Each structure stands twice: as C-alpha cells, then as structure tokens.
Chains A and B, each alone.
Chain A
C-alpha cells in the first residue's frame, strides 16, 4: 500500500516540478522582470534529489531523452537562423568568432592550471567554457521579440562556439579515453567520426524533410509539426548510434535553410511545444546538479567566470568596429554570450557513455554551471535591452 502511494507520487514528480517551475517563471517575469528560464533553473535545482528531493536523479532516465529532444529543437531553430554567407561578406565576424571562442579556451585553461587543476580536467573545463548556451540566448531573444545586430551576432557566435566546443570537447574526451582506457580506435571514434557522421545525419534530414514537405503540400501550415517529428526521430537515431544529437540537429536546421524550396512556417521557438519543453529542459539540466558538487571550488568557479566573461566581451568589443558595429554594441554582444549551463550539461550528459565524470574531476564546475544558469540569461536579457533591440514582450499586448 505504502509502496503504491510512493510509486504514484514518484510518477507525479515531473509534472509537479514542471508546474512549480512554470509558476516560478511567471513570478520572476512579472515581479522581477527576470527571464523565465532563470526561475526554471532555480526550481529544478531546488527540487532535485540532492536538495528537496522531489525529483529523482534524472541522468540516464527517459527524461534525459526528452531533454535531448528539447535542446535539439532549439539547435534546429538556431541552425535555420545561421547565414553562412554572412561570414563570407564579413570576415571580421568570423575572426571575432574564432578569437572569442579559442581565446576563452586558452584563458580558461591557463587559469584552471594556475589554480592547480590537472591538465585533462582543465582542458575539458576550457572546452566547455567556450560554448554559449544557445538555449538561453534564443529563448530570451524570442521572449523579448528581439531583433538587431546584437541579437543576430549573439545567435551566430553562439552557434559557432557550440560547434567548436563540441569539436574540442570530443577530441579531448577521446584523448582521455585513449590515455585512461587505452586503444586508439575508441579515441578516434569518439571525436572525428562522431562529428562527421552526426553532421552527415543532420544534413541527410535537411535534404529529406523539405522534399517530403514539398511533396506533401505546397507551403502548408504543418511545417512545424513535421520538423518537430523529424527532430525527434533524429535524436532517437543519433542516441541509438551514440552520435551527437546536438550537432546533428544544428546541421539539420542549417541545411533546411539552404534547401528551402518551401519556406518553413515553423513559428519561433516551436510555439507551445517549445515553451513546455524549455521548462523541462531547464529543470532537467539543473536537477542533475547536487549541493556537494556546487559547494566546492568556489575560487576556481569565480575565476573562470570572470576570465570567460572578459574574453567574450573583450573579443567582441575589439573587433566590433572592423565588423561594422560600434564598440558598445560589440561589448553587449559579448555580454549576451554569457549563458553556458544547459548546453554544457547536455554535452556532458551525452558523453556519459565514455565513462567520464567531469563534475567529480573538476571541483568548481558545478558552481560555475549553477551560477551561469541563473545569471547567464539575465546577462543576455540586460545586454539585449541595453542595445535597444527588445521589442514588445510576447503575450503582453500594448494598449
């Protein structure tokens, strides 16, 4: 009897957590004018097994697959918004991207080594620090209906630094497997082949789905559903084959943009579905963190936070003039790139099968991720508002 009650409660844990997170998000938005996603993250952390204990440890459960689906939808949407021609016309933007990403990598690596971290964990930490979470960036931009140079550049730079982060992280993880478990084959497999094949699968979907759409109907309104289903399929497929769902989804979106015979009617953020999955994604990501992980390594976490922000803001401001905007907007672009948590957690989650527990190896990563989960979206929000790129907020009608 008691077991039955406990079981049914356990079954309700996720819906309840989503409800609480949603309430927290609305409260944060209405009364504090903070991005909703901050509150989702905080709620997830508070309710996690290590803290209040409503949620079971989510890592490796079916919920992880749903979270992957959620982030894949975001990356698909992001991929659609990436215009590679822009880099051809604006070489300094490409330079900005390389400098902010690899500058962050080098700086974080040096700081981590200086604070006594072993070489391999320091490398992994530096690789993670390159990435700017596109989830928070896109969500905040959509929530505020932003458009303008800072928004566009933030989204492009975020997409590129995520690709760099995956490349470098997988390569280092492959090296880790090589040195700690032995065998050249698994190391190469986990880096180069995974990346190539993931991108290939994404490209294949990018060619197939628009063709299907064109055959099904000309320019109909069902594009959103079909793209969502295709993304779900893509995530399941890459999971089964242990490839990178993140890269595959990004490339899927990118190829759809260029193969666009039928222009997609996919509404921003996948509408209601996207809204629900975003809550789940943020709750999931922060529920993987536990207090002991967060409580240690504050010095390293704060040092990395400072250096990372400095690098991104510095690089974007330094090349702003050359790439055609004022230095102030450049600096705001760098500030808007602050979020990293959700992407980093999902990247770590997807490399669990390699047997690497980065959180236990890198004291301070937990705190860094938690702090950025809360502060990252706020930084993006403030940067976009300061740049004057926020439109009317979604759902609030002007009188």
Chain B
C-alpha cells in the first residue's frame, strides 16, 4: 500500500498530543487505571480527544486544530480540568513528566488492543520500557514539500525543544543525570532518529517509503519513531522530542514556540543541507544530558554556543512573529524557563526537599492540577 497523499491545508495551524501518567495516590507508583478513566470520561462529552496508550497506566489527550495560542491553551486547560475531576472520583493522580521516576517496566500491563499487543510481541521488553511520556506537536503545512523543508530546517532548533521540555531526570529509581532520560528509551528503537534527507514529497513517498515498505520493515508512517516526522493524513509535520511537561501551560507554550519558529523559517526560506546533520546527534545528546546548560555546536558556523543563550536569542528573534500570531505570552513563559530552569530541575529540587521520589511525584501531581507544589 503506497503512502497516502499529503493532505495539505492551512499553514501554521497547530495541535498538541500529551501522553500522561496515571499514578496511585498512596504509593505514587504508576497504576493501570486507563480503562477505568476512559469509562468514566466516556460518560460525558470530553473537551478534546482522549485515548489509551500502550500500557494501562498511560492516557493520551489531543487537542483540536488551532491557529491561536490562547484557544489552544484554553482547550488544554479544559481537558486538564476534566481529567483531574475524573481522577478525583477514581482516586487516581494524573501527572506530566517524561518518565515515571521509579516504576518497574516489567510490571507494566499492555493495554488490551490488537495494535498494542502486536507491538508488545514484536519489541518484547522494549515495549514495556517504552513506558515514557512525550508531547507531540503538529504543525500544518501548505504543501507536502513545505512540510519536508520545515522538517529539515527545524533540525538546528531541536535541542531547544528537548531542553525546554525536559522533565525526565529519574528512571528506575535513580537520577540518570540526564535532563531528558526519556529520549534514550526512544533511541533504543530501530527506526528512531532523524528522517532521511529528502526535500521532495515524490522522492520521499514513491522512492524512500515505497522501498522501505517493500523490505517489510514498515507498514505505515506510525512505524517510524523519528524526532520529527511527516503525518500525511493530517497534512502536518509532527515534533516528537518533547517530554510531556508537568503543566499544560508549558505544553501550550512549546507548541506556540514551534509555530512561531515555523513562521520565521517559512519567511526566511534559507536553503537546508544534509551537512546540517553532522552535529545533530551530538547536539541532541548535549540537550538531553545537560538541558539548558548544554553546549551546542552550530551546524553552519561550527562554533560552540551555550544552549541557553541560543534559546534567548531565538526568543528575541521570534518576537515579531509571535506578535503576529498572538503568542507573545507563550514566549514570555519560555523566557522564564530559560532563566529559572526547566521541569527537570524542579523535579530534582522537589526530590531533595521532600526527601524522596514519592514526595516528588506528589508535587508533580499537584503541579499538573495547577496547584502550587
């Protein structure tokens, strides 16, 4: 089956998907409550979309298509409130964060749905180890070729999203010293990493994808776990490197940042080259490991620069675009993050203040509710 046509639509629309953790409010471990949550949420209209994820202690929400940051933030807030209310009725805590700090992946139950069971058989323990939680942001593209251009032009900014969203310092009970340990789990999959450097949709669909499909390794775009991938049926490109932040406010700000970046890249239309990817994996590692304190290598100028400075400079550069899009508030949120630190830092602080990982998850649950931790 050939890759379906790219349903090009309005440029710079955006949509957000968040994978969320369901936690037990007694021991703060993950709890397989997805089916009960979905049952209760199914009783009244949900302000968005909610569906199960691969293990029973995850749930995924997604927004409608938005052009306006305020509307996106509003819908995310409504979905958050509906989830929190359902969680209260079932004694289940809901929280963000790219990993659960001490869950044991061997104890996760795979959600009872054919695709998930197939993945579980194929990937074995990797599927359970994939109990990680990400934010995906879709950006609408006016054409398929524009989508591929943006996908590759964004490569230099990818570390920004990793560092600003990073919220997974702990894994299996220990501090990994990474700000985003989640991406290391994603990297274990054979089809992860970056998309091939192809800028024309015909080359991508008829050549690359068709060849890959004939090898039998992939059946659909879903089988690629790339950092950014095209999503032809939506007419979007999908950024997948963000950890789920601890609050929906930050999730909305990250989406607006991507929207403003895409606006700038579209206007500038600078040519992209495959050599931009020479430093890609190194920069990506730096951002995962050190977060905002990372040191990047500029893909063109080959000079080192502090990620934090690069973020602040980009935020300044984006100001007119954000003003045009009505998302200046989002950039302000991210400017504060760049100054005060990301959620990984908050988690580490809560861990040392409360004397344990359970106290830390408790604080994360309260943060997601919108309470002060």
Residues of A within 8 A of B (CB): 80-81, 83, 85-86, 89-90, 145, 147-149, 152, 156, 214, 218-219, 257, 260-263, 323-326, 329, 388-389, 391-392, 398
Contacts and interface: CB of A to CB of B under 8 A. Distances in A.
Given A147-B24, A262-B356, A323 B89 contact: yes
B24 to A, nearest CB: 7
Given A219-B355, A263-B356, A147 B25 contact: no
Given A80-B26, A262-B356, A263-B355, A148 B36 contact: yes
The 8 closest A-B pairs by CB, nearest first: A263-B358, A89-B88, A219-B355, A219-B356, A218-B355, A324-B89, A86-B91, A263-B356
B180 to A, nearest CB: 25
A398 to B, nearest CB: 8
Q: Tell which of A149, A260, A388, A392 has the most Cβ of chain B within 10 Å.
A: A149
Q: Tell which of B28, B32, B106 has the most Cβ of chain A within 10 Å.
A: B32
Contacts, number: 64
A366 B18 CA distance: 56
B31 A147 contact: yes
Query: How big is chain B's contact interface, by range?
Result: 20 to 34
Interface in B308-361: 354-356, 358-359
A85 B35 CA distance: 22
Contacts of A90: 88-91
Contacts of A218: 355
Given A147-B32, A324-B89, A257 B26 contact: yes
Nearest to B357: A263
B90 A324 contact: yes
Contacts of B89: 89-90, 323-324
B109 interface: yes
Interface in B222-260: none
22 contacts: A83-B25, A83-B91, A85-B88, A90-B89, A90-B90, A90-B91, A145-B107, A147-B31, A148-B31, A152-B90, A156-B91, A261-B354, A262-B356, A263-B359, A323-B89, A324-B89, A325-B36, A325-B39, A326-B39, A391-B107, A392-B107, A398-B106
Interface of B: 24-26, 28, 31-33, 35-36, 39-40, 86, 88-91, 106-107, 109, 354-356, 358-359, 362
Q: Tell which of A81, A214, A324, A388 has the most Cβ of chain B within 10 Å.
A: A324
Contact of B354 (A86, A263, A323, A391): A263
Given A80-B26, A90-B89, A261 B355 contact: yes
Contacts of B35: 388
Nearest to B358: A263
Nearest to A86: B91
Q: Tell which of A152, A260, A323, A389 has the most Cβ of chain B within 10 Å.
A: A152
Contacts of B88: 85-86, 89-90
A89 B86 CA distance: 9
Contact of B90 (A85, A149, A398): A149
Contacts of B354: 261, 263
Nearest to A213: B355
B355 A324 contact: no
Contacts of B362: 263
Nearest to A329: B36
